[in-house]
């Protein structure tokens, strides 16, 4: 399934924010900051990336469901979407 702008807006915003957070984590490490602070920020980056992935999966599920409701064949099966979802777990 090709990603479309209407499917990825929120996920893309989250990833851009995570990119900024990751740059900050790298700077913190290079500056020798406290490991607790670094790990707290790294956990926030990881969570943001995970949430972006879940948003993409959810959007794909909605997209495929809408195709089914219109009587069209969805681009991905439920099994394929489930497999993608489980790769994030």
The domain ranges of the chain are 11-87
DSSP 56: H
Residue 47: per-residue pLDDT: 93
What is the model's pLDDT at position 84?
A: 87
| Mean pLDDT for back-to-back runs of 10 residues, the chain (89 residues) | 76 92 96 95 94 89 89 88 87
Fold category of 11-87 in CATH: Methane Monooxygenase Hydroxylase; Chain G, domain 1 (1.20.58)
Which ranges of the chain would DSSP assign to H, the alpha helix?
Answer: 5-30, 35-69, 78-88
What is the Cα–Cα distance from 84 to 54, expressed in whole angstroms?
10
- The burial of 69, by beta-carbon neighbours within 10 Å (0-12 exposed, 13-18 middle, 19 or more buried), is given as exposed
């Amino acid at each position: 399934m090709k990603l479309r702008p209407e499917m990825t807006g929120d996920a893309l915003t989250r990833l851009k924010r995570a990119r900024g957070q990751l740059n900050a984590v790298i700077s913190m490490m290079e500056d020798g900051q406290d490991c607790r602070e670094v790990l707290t920020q790294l956990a926030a980056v990881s969570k943001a990336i995970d949430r972006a992935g879940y948003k993409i999966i959810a959007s794909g599920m909605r997209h495929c469901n809408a195709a089914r409701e219109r009587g069209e064949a969805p681009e991905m099966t439920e099994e394929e979407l489930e497999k993608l979802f489980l790769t994030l777990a």
